[in-house]
């Protein structure tokens, strides 16, 4: 499996990542149809399939319901083979998101993620933006705390899951990686990808399939989507959230084909 480095951190990611919103949360999401959260047996089968296919990146967040806790149990005995990405700043309780980007809360959140994920290090931690990216980067000191924890060896790479060009670029100036929305329907953050490419920073794509809405449009939407995403230099990985084994296989096939593999 080919991998792409995240800046100079030593973290390497496969072209397809496994997104885990659907392992922990089915409220307040924008997927085309309702779904049932997979039970432990089904979730482990998906994780094992991802591993068998050679995928190394798994993406979670405190805001994805009990996704972190579940992964702590489901990944027992296989921690070393995964690049675990989690986030700080967003919480989802009783059907609504709320945010806290303060240094104190950031430290608390990282301690909690380490416990929930049953690990003593996190490969990648991103600020889970509420949309005010630039304000968070400039005023809260969230990235400074993450970078301190990186110095202490608790985190290997830091960054932001951004929503704006200005915020994404400002965050990259003090971190390793940005997770941006980029798909056939939404290209507003393309400039962040270009900045990362020019400055040796990592890029992860979220919503490569527009949360599944693209899959309902036109001929071979997954192949077209992956071709589109990977035609932009600088893209390291597309994190696709699926709880369907067939989709997982075909998404990887499409990602690798897009890269000429
Ligand atoms: P996505 O990956 O674009 O789309 C996922 C949806 O597409 C799921 O409903 C999935 O349904 C469907 N799908 C996947 N492969 C398919 C295929 N081959 N054919 C048909 N349908 C397919 O969007 P996302 O889940 O919103 O985002 C992906 C990941 O990015 C998330 O899991 C999360 O890890 C991360 N994310 C991060 C943020 C953030 O702010 N940081 C925000 C959103 C998402 P099936 O389960 O049926 O396959």
**pLDDT attached to residue 250:** 97
Task: Please indicate whether residue 64 is annotated as part of the active site.
Answer: yes
| Tokens of residue 241, six digits | 């959230």
When pLDDT is averaged across residues 62-70 and rounded to a whole number, the result is: 97
Find the 211 Cα to ligand 1 centroid distance in Å: 5
In order of start, what are the domains of the chain with their CATH numbers? 4-258 (3.20.20.100)
**pLDDT attached to residue 183:** 97
Quick one: angle between helices 165-172 and 190-198, nearest 10? 20
**pLDDT attached to residue 93:** 92
Instruction: Pick the catalytic residue from 31, 64, 140, 182.
Output: 64
How many other C-beta atoms lie within 10 A of the C-beta of residue 108?
13
Nearest CA to ligand 1 atom 26: 211
**pLDDT attached to residue 201:** 98
Q: 7-29 in b/e burial notation, b at 16+ Cβ within 10 A?
A: bebebbbbbbbbbbbbbbbeeee
241 phi, psi to nearest 5 deg: -90, 110
| Tokens of residue 99, six digits | 């945010």
When pLDDT is averaged across residues 140-153 and rounded to a whole number, the result is: 98
Q: Which atom of ligand 1 is nearest to the CA of 209?
A: 3
Q: What is the pTM of this model?
A: 0.97
Which of 26-30, 52-56, 203-207 is least confident?
A: 26-30
With bands split at pLDDT 50, 70 and 90, how would you rate the model's confidence at 22?
Answer: very high
With bands split at pLDDT 50, 70 and 90, how would you rate the model's confidence at 47?
Answer: very high
Residues having CB within 6 Å of any atom of ligand 1 = 19-22, 31, 59, 128, 161, 179, 206-212, 215, 222, 239-244, 247, 250-251
| Tokens of residue 245, six digits | 């084994």
Q: Could you give the CA distance from residue 66 to residue 10 in angstroms, rounded to a whole number?
A: 29
Residues of the chain with pLDDT > 70, as a percent, come to 100
Q: Could you give the CA distance from residue 221 to residue 219 in angstroms, rounded to a whole number?
A: 6
| Tokens of residue 101, six digits | 């980007």
Nearest CA to ligand 1 atom 18: 247
With bands split at pLDDT 50, 70 and 90, how would you rate the model's confidence at 153?
Answer: very high
Quick one: angle between helices 103-116 and 67-74, nearest 10? 40
Nearest CA to ligand 1 atom 31: 19
When pLDDT is averaged across residues 11-31 and rounded to a whole number, the result is: 95
Q: Could you give the CA distance from residue 43 to residue 46 in angstroms, rounded to a whole number?
A: 5
With bands split at pLDDT 50, 70 and 90, how would you rate the model's confidence at 204?
Answer: very high
pLDDT exceeds cutoff 90 at 132:
yes
**pLDDT attached to residue 217:** 86
When pLDDT is averaged across residues 84-107 and rounded to a whole number, the result is: 96
pLDDT exceeds cutoff 90 at 182:
yes
Mutate which of 16, 19, 182 for ligand 1 pocket (most atoms within 8 A of beta carbon): 19
DSSP secondary structure letter of residue 28? S
| Helix residue ranges per DSSP H, the chain | 21-24, 40-53, 67-74, 103-116, 133-135, 142-151, 165-172, 190-198, 221-230, 245-258
Find the 148 Cα to ligand 1 centroid distance in Å: 31
């Amino acid at each position: 499996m080919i991998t792409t480095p995240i800046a100079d951190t030593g973290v390497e990611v496969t072209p397809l990542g496994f997104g885990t919103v659907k392992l922990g949360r089915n409220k307040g999401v924008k997927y085309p149809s309702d779904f049932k959260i997979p039970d432990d047996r089904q979730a482990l089968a998906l994780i094992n399939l991802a591993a068998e296919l050679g995928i190394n990146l798994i993406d979670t967040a405190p805001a994805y319901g009990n996704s972190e806790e579940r992964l702590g149990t489901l990944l027992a005995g296989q921690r070393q083979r995964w690049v675990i990405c989690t986030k700080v700043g967003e919480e989802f309780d009783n059907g609504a998101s709320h945010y806290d980007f303060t240094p104190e809360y950031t430290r608390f959140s990282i301690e909690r993620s380490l416990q929930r994920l049953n690990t003593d290090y996190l490969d990648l931690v991103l600020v889970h933006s509420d949309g005010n990216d630039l304000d968070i980067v400039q005023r809260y000191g969230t990235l400074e705390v993450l970078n301190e924890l990186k110095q202490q060896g608790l985190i290997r790479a830091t960054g932001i899951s951004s929503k704006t060009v200005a915020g994404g670029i400002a965050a990259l100036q003090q971190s390793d990686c940005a997770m941006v929305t980029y798909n056939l329907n939404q290209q507003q953050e393309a400039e962040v990808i270009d900045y990362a490419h020019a400055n040796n920073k990592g890029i992860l794509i979220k919503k490569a399939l527009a949360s599944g809405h693209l899959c309902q449009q036109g001929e071979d939407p997954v192949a077209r989507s992956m071709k589109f995403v990977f035609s932009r230099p600088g893209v390291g990985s597309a994190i696709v959230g699926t709880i369907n084994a067939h989709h997982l296989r075909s998404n990887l096939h499409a990602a690798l084909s897009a890269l000429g593999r």
